[in-house]
Amino acid sequence: MPTTERLDSCNCFASRKAARLITKMYEDHLAPAGLTSSQFALLAHLDEAGSASIKELVEALAMERTSIVRALQPLERDALVDQAVDQNDARRHVISLSAAGRERLQQAIPLWQEAQAEFERIFGAGLAQQMRESIRGLSS
């Protein structure tokens, strides 16, 4: 059943639908590594940042706190991330990538690159870059 005219002209609906379809594409590629797209983003961010608090992850990834906590649970269970008390502030907990997490990320990166290539085959590299730049503008 097609969508209604109102939904077809709605920017919010279009962007959310696109996000769901793109997420599915990436998660199909990441499935052999046993990661969701959110988990991949968390591991990739922690790999580059070194460590981060939940609050910092919320800000960096533009995700809800509950979504981050939910995505971290299996990563902690599988010992892909470590959580520790911040040495400078005992009230603050920081999450970092474990050695197993680095290995899993290295396994997932070629799968993610395949998803990137598929996206760019469908939409073109120029449009993909333009989309990323436009989205970065939303958060600044």
**pTM for this entry:** 0.88
Interval 31-46: pLDDT, tens = 999 999 999 999 999 9
Residue whose token pair is 């600044």: 140
Domain hosting 32: range is 5-139
Tally the domains of the chain. Answer: 1
- For the cut 90, the answer to whether the pLDDT of residue 136 exceeds it is no
Residue 123's domain is classified under what CATH number? 1.10.10.10
Q: Are 92 and 34 in contact (CB under 8 A)?
A: no
> From residue 111, how far is each of 33, 40, 91, 125 by CA, in Å?
8, 11, 37, 18
How far is residue 102 from each of residues 1, 7, 19, measured CA to CA in Å?
44, 42, 27
- Span 76-110, pLDDT tens digits: 999 999 998 878 877 888 999 999 999 999 999 99
